[in-house]
Amino acid sequence: MKNLRILSTCTALLLVMGVTFAQQTQNQGQSSSGVKDQIKTQTQLQVHDQTQTQVQNQTHTMIQDQTQTQTMTRTQTKDQTRLNEKDQLRSQKRLQLKNETMEQTQLKEQNRDQFRNSLTEEQVGILGDQEMTRSQKKKAFMGSLTDEQRNMLRENNTLRQQQKNEFRNSTGTGDQNKQMMQNRGANGDGSTGGKRNGQH
């Protein structure tokens, strides 16, 4: 009977020890699992922070690139606007010069025709005299002019001088210079332009 009690007591002790060992093992497993979970969580947080930092850096770079592109676009637009304005001013100036030149040329032609039609037979004879030298013709012809004819010559000379001044002051492209030279060639030169017409 005593042996049975001893056996029962030993069995109970073994059960208690077994349960205690199982609890300790379970606690150790739970502790190890908790550490792993904690390490895993920290790793995930680090990866998340790194990813977020990369995204922020990429976003910042994209914003900088976009800002630079917008600045370059605005600068190019301003430069193009200035060029367009300069081209427009040049075109307006060329058109204005062309119109003024045409108006002055037409007025000169009218004055020349009027002057030629006002010549008397005596004046035409002076211009056609083959025995007189050029200087003699000029002296005799100028001495025969009436006040009205002198005013016509003066107006024509004034118009011609205005065209010369505009020609010098203009920025003048090659086409403008060529046009001015053609106008001068077509209209003749010198204060005795009316006299040349009188010869024909």
pLDDT in tens, 129-173: 999 999 999 999 999 999 999 998 898 889 888 888 887 876 555
Counted domains in the chain: 1
Whether the CB-CB separation of 187 and 150 falls below 8 Å is answered with no
| Average pLDDT score over residue span 16-30 | 70
Count of beta carbons in the 10 Å neighbourhood of residue 185: 9
Given a cut of 70, is residue 185 above it in pLDDT? no
Tell me if 76 is assigned to some domain: no
In a domain, 73, yes or no: no
Structural contact between residues 160 and 198, judged by C-beta atoms closer than 8 angstroms? no
Q: Is 175 left (phi over 0), alpha (psi -120 to 50) or beta?
A: alpha
Split at pLDDT 50, 70, 90, the class of 27 is low
Q: CA-to-CA distance for 40 and 38, rounded, in angstroms? A: 5
Judge whether 5 lies within some domain.
no
Structural element, H or E, at residue 95: helix 2-117
The two structure tokens encoding residue 159: 């118009």
In a domain, 43, yes or no: no
Residues, the chain = 200
pLDDT score of 148: 92
**Does residue 157 lie within any of the structural domains?**
yes
The pLDDT value given to residue 178: 63
**Residue 31 pLDDT exceeds 70:** no
Confirm whether 150 is domain-assigned: yes
Range of the domain at 158: 82-199
Whole-angstrom distance, CA of residue 9 vs CA of residue 149 = 159
Residue 117 lies inside a defined structural domain of this protein: yes
How do residues 35-73 score in pLDDT, each as one tens digit? 777 888 888 888 888 888 888 888 888 888 888 888 888
In a domain, 21, yes or no: no
Give 159's Cβ-side CA count (13 Å radius): 25
Tokens representing 126?
């002076």
Most confident range (mean pLDDT) of 23-32, 131-140, 191-200 is 131-140
